[in-house]
Amino acid sequence: MIEESPVETLASLIDEKNKVVFSAWNGDEPPSGQRCELHLQADSKIYLYTLGYGINFIHGTFSILNGSLIEIKMDVSDPFTDWPIMLLERDGEDLLLYRSDGKTSWHDDYPFYPESIDGFWPLRASKMEKPDH
1 in a structural domain:
no
Is position 14 within any domain?
A: yes
CATH of the domain at 36: 2.40.128.640
In 10 A of CB 86, how many CB atoms?
Answer: 24
pLDDT digits (tens, 9 = 90+) for 7-40: 999 999 999 999 999 999 999 877 677 788 999 9
pTM, rounded to two decimals: 0.86
Residue 133 lies in a domain: no
Query: Does a structural domain hold residue 131?
Result: no
| Rounded CA separation 72/81 (Å) | 9
Overall domain count for the chain: 1
Instruction: Tell me which residue range forms the domain holding 94.
Output: 6-125
DSSP state of 52: S
Q: What is the pLDDT of residues 103-116, one digit of tens each?
A: 988 777 777 677 76
Secondary structure of residue 29 in the 3-state scheme: coil
Residue 83 lies in a domain: yes
Confidence check: pLDDT of 131 > 60:
no
Own/partner pairs, 41-50, CB within 8 angstroms, 24+ separation: 41/14, 42/14, 42/15, 42/18, 46/72, 46/74, 47/19, 48/74, 48/81, 49/133, 50/80
Nearest to 87 by CA among 60, 61, 64, 110: 64
**Per the domain annotation, does 132 fall within a domain?**
no
Does a structural domain hold residue 27?
A: yes
